[in-house]
Structure 1
Amino acid sequence: MHSPLIPDDVIARIRSRAAGYDRDNVFPHEDLAELIRLGYLGLFASTDQGGRGLGLAGVAREQRRLAAAAPATALAINMHLVWTGVAKALRDRGDESLAFVLDEAVAGEIFAFGNSEPGNDLVLLDSRTRADRHPDGSYSFTGRKIFTSLSPVWTRLGVFGRDDTSPDAPQLVHAFIDRAAGGYRIEDDWDTLGMRATQSHTTILEGVTAPADRVFRRIAPGPSADPLVFAIFANFEILVAAVYAGIADRALELAVQAAHRRTSLKSGGRPYASDPDIRHRVAEAAIALDALEPQIDALGRDVDELVDHGTRWFSKLVGVKVRATETARVVVDQAIRVTGGSAMSNSSELGRLYRDVLAGMFHPSDDESAHATVANSLLGPVTE
């Protein structure tokens, strides 16, 4: 097991800024600058490339620790890490199509996701965005992308859209656009209940062109065995799970502190840490949280070690994401009950964690989609 990359004093500074970013609804530029100095953009790149040489399991541990200090910062940088993790997962499997992502990440480029679309519950399996092919192999994209984390800072945006005009159409076309390109705009519309510092603004693609050398996949709509789909899914689900596990870690820590700090007049001034109901709540939260680490770590190592779970891979991945996000909500809820009414204050860190943890239910795969995936894996498709 590797030593944590982020020193304790940096973690403390990142935690100290989180409330201000949330209050002011601004991007955590200072956090990002500190992470860049530590080589965070190149976590997945090999040491030969100038990166940190971590696998998915190691990056998940780093993200869990970062999220315990600043959930929104961790969730924002997650999107860059997903793309670099995808590049590594493909390379590990003999696919060099995204090798440039790792090189550019080490050089300081910041990658973000422009995949989510309003009304598209098929996620990666289809797209509402139009992809128009040009004779030189480049593509122009027209559509609306939502939840584009890292909006103020990304330099490379991964997008995909549907090509219905090529001879082999329909095809889903995946490409990267450059921030310096024309033909898109970012709306200033991110003012949310939680995860505010991610600054995940809507991005409107208005014919922005990706050069031919940045068009890296064309896949038929629908379920696909293409390694890109697996790599995106694996990195996204495991790293999201790690972020929400980190929120739960901090919530439990705050609950323990509150139990020792609060005293009961009814019991003659004894701390609430001696109250059997409070002890039960803290223990219940800890028992639930203890189950997450081995699951996240084991699946991350399986990706790193090229373990073949066959058709069970997707059900395992949606399972760990749902368990992590739902467990985190339970742990935060118990922590609030232990802490009492002070958690209602706008200045309460636990109150902020409560708002942040709610976002977990909206990340793909949501609860309904996850259950459908697992059911299909075990029972097969629904028959008429």
Structure 2
Amino acid sequence: MDPGAVLPDALIEDIRSRAGGYDERNEFFQEDFDALVAAGYLKAFVARGEGGLGAGMADVVRLQRRLAQAAPATALAVNMHLVWTGVAKVLADRGDETLEFVLEEAAAGEVFAFGVSEAGNDAVLFDSITDAVPQPDGGYSFTGTKVFTSLAPVWTRMGTFGKDATGPEDLLVWGFIRRDRPGWRHLDDWNTLGMRASQSRTTVLEGATASPDRIVRKLPVGPTPDLLTFGIFSVFETLLAAVYTGVAERALALAVDAAHRRRSHRNGGRAYSQDPDIRWQIAELGMAVDAMIPQLDAVAADLDGLVDRGPAWFRALSGLKHRASETAKSVVDGAMRVGGGGGYFRGSELERLYRDALAGLYHPSDPESAHATVAANLLGPLEG
């Protein structure tokens, strides 16, 4: 799939031209969203026969890299819809039709939010501080607070989970709620350092219900080999890595442009691109980006190819996301150094990228979790 055909240059430039204004006004990217819907972008994982793009993970990774180079916050927010549709495809490719309705509803224009993160819950997918209460009809109500719920102004469905403590053993219940039903509200609290246009507001669940046919899993607390857990982790980490790789690519392009544009008074007006120190710095940035892309592509291709990496999958996915977010931060930092003092001013693209890149610190897997996962795979579990 050609990313330039799905996201043509004219659309990318329109999206890039709006990114600074959305950031400055702390405003949702509504025009971008409308344009992406019109382009069929939110149906990327939907089969062509159902009106979608028929994309695989490798395709969407390339698309998200391209979108992130224009507007990181737009790409990050759209990621959350693509996570659920991507999980549905990962499951379906492996013979599990549990989330078939997600792709069907996405094909019909529904927009999915990822209502999973909870403040203070460092167990992430393996426990919850949200209450899931069984209902007489077999559905569940959810009461708790979810943070960083992107696409707040436009989602129509939200995949979420909570803990059912009413039975002999606690169960983690996964289900999907609807925007047009009561029991939820957003807080107007999204005023952040970066990724501002994503409008990833806090969502308070106050008895929001998921009908029985939208309850998709009941899992034990703690790590589990269930395919849903693998699907969420694999798609979430890979698409996050794609966004931050796109941020790094754009920062590198801006650094190259600055080196050609800036002139050295000391060296008789020669371009900084002829300065050995600047050339060395940009080469370092280029090598960092060049190392990131093959790792990302390999993981995406293995997901598409149903490759069985066994327990090493979680090591690969945690390491991928960590490497991508750290690479984005270091490349943007290097681009700021090469670009000169103009990048320090509010409103410059590099200044915005610098702030956006810092959001990578807060997405799972965080650096501590990623290192613990990789160490456990290589060294075995901690004793005692």
Match of 2:10 in 1: 9
1:166 Cα offset (Å): 2.8
Native 8 Å contact 1:133 1:166 kept in 2: no
CA distance in 2, matches of 1:298, 1:376: 22
Task: State whether structure 2 residue 219 is matched by structure 1 residue 198.
Answer: no
Q: Secondary structure at the match of 2:28?
A: coil
- CA drift of 1:184 comes to 1.1
In 1, Cα distance between equivalents of 2:245 and 2:126: 28
Distance 1:248 1:296 in 2: 13
Q: Is contact 1:114-1:148 (8 Å) kept?
A: yes
Tell me the residue number matched to 1:253: 253
- 2:271 matched to which residue of 1? 271
- Which deviations, in whole Å up to 9, do the C-alpha atoms of 1:94-151 show, x marking residues without a partner? 1001001011111110001110001000000000000000121110001010000001
Matches within 5 A, 1:1-384: 2-4=2-4, 5-167=6-168, 169-384=169-384
1:229 to partner: Cα distance? 0.4
> 8 Å contact 2:114–2:158 — kept in the other structure?
yes
C-alpha contact 1:111 1:154 (8 A) present in aligned 2: yes
Asked if structure 1 preserves the Cα contact closer than 8 Å seen for 2:241 and 2:321, the reply is yes
> Shift of the alpha carbon at 1:378?
1.3
One-letter code aligned to 2:356: D
- Partner secondary structure for residue 310 of structure 1: coil
Q: Which runs of 5+ in 1 are unaligned?
A: none
Distance 2:40 2:305 in 1: 24
Counterpart AA for 1:131 = A
Deviations 1:262-290 (A, max 9, x none): 11111111111111111111000000100
Rounded to whole Å, the distance in 1 between the matches of 2:218 and 2:271 is 62
The change in CA–CA distance for 1:3 and 1:326 in structure 2 (over 3 A counts) is closer
8 Å Cα contact 1:22/1:197 also seen in 2: yes
Whichever residue aligns with residue 119 of structure 1, its letter is G
Amino acid at match of 1:261: R
Aligned length: 383
Q: Which amino acid aligns with 1:71?
A: P
Q: Distance in 2 between matches of 1:67 and 1:283?
A: 22
The superposition leaves residues 285-314 of structure 1 with CA deviations (integer Å, 9 ceiling, x where unpaired) of 000100111111111110111000001000
Shift of 1:2: 3.2
Q: For the residues of structure 2 that align with 1:101 and 1:50, how far apart are their CA atoms?
A: 14
- Could you say what secondary structure the match of 1:218 adopts? strand
Displacement after TM superposition at 1:3 (Å)? 4.5
Query: Counterpart of 2:335 in structure 1: which amino acid?
Result: A
Which amino acid in 2 is paired with 1:172? L
For 2:165 and 2:131, the matched residues in 1 are separated by: 8
Q: Which amino acid aligns with 2:109?
A: G
Q: Determine if contact 2:79/2:240 at 8 Å carries over to the other structure.
A: yes
Q: CA deviation at 1:41?
A: 1.1
Q: Distance in 2 between matches of 1:79 and 1:57?
A: 17
For residues 98 and 244 of structure 1, what CA distance do their matches in structure 2 show?
27
Residue type of the partner of 1:86?
A: V
Question: Match of 1:161, SS?
Answer: strand
Q: Which TM-score applies when normalising by structure 1?
A: 0.99
* In 2: Cα distance, 1:93 partner to 1:16 partner: 40
Q: Distance in 1 between matches of 2:97 and 2:78?
A: 23
The AA in structure 2 aligned to 1:225 is: P
* CA RMSD between the two structures: 0.8
- The Cα offsets for residues 205-258 of structure 1, whole Å up to 9 and x where unpaired, read as 111111111111111010100000000001000100000010111111111111
Instruction: Please say if residues 163 and 171 of structure 1, whose CA atoms lie closer than 8 Å, have aligned partners that are also in contact.
Output: yes
Percent identity between the aligned chains? 60
Q: Describe the superposition over 1:3-57 as per-residue Cα deviations: whole angstroms up to 9, x where unpaired.
A: 5311100000000000000000010010011111111111001111111111011
